[in-house]
């Protein structure tokens, strides 16, 4: 929930909350998600309408709130396969079963 509040505040022109507790965790996850967009494995989940905009499904944002983080090159990053697995958990089934 903290990540959604953090993102909502930033998207509505607010400033980032104090860097403590949940706000710090949300910022770390948000930054890790931004780094994950550079991974080719996420290309199928995002699309560009304009050069400076990336559209991301809500399932991917939700997954970023629960997927495990790890360290790489002294940065907090997502384990991309785990992030994609979590994304699928938030997607609605397609078609008729």
Residue 95 lies in a domain: no
18 φ/ψ angles, rounded to the nearest 5 degrees: -50, 140
With 0.75 as the threshold, say if the pTM is over it. Answer: no
Q: What is the pLDDT of residues 25-73, one digit of tens each?
A: 778 888 898 899 888 888 888 877 777 777 788 888 888 888 999 999 8
Taking only the tens place, the pLDDT of each residue in 74-90 is 899 999 999 999 998 98
C-alpha 83/C-alpha 60 separation (Å) is 8
Query: How many folded domains does the chain comprise?
Result: 1
97: in domain: no
Q: Report how far residue 65's alpha carbon sits from residue 55's, in angstroms, rounded to the nearest whole number.
A: 17
Assigned domain for 75 exists? yes
């Amino acid at each position: 929930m903290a990540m959604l509040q953090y993102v909502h505040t930033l998207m509505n022109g607010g400033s980032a909350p104090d860097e403590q507790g949940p706000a710090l965790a949300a910022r770390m996850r948000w930054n890790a998600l931004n780094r994950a967009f550079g991974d080719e494995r996420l290309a199928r989940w995002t699309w560009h309408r304009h050069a400076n905009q990336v559209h991301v499904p809500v399932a991917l944002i939700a997954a970023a709130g629960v997927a495990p983080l790890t360290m790489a090159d002294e940065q907090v990053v997502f384990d991309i396969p785990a992030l994609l697995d979590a994304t699928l958990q938030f997607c609605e089934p397609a078609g008729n079963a």
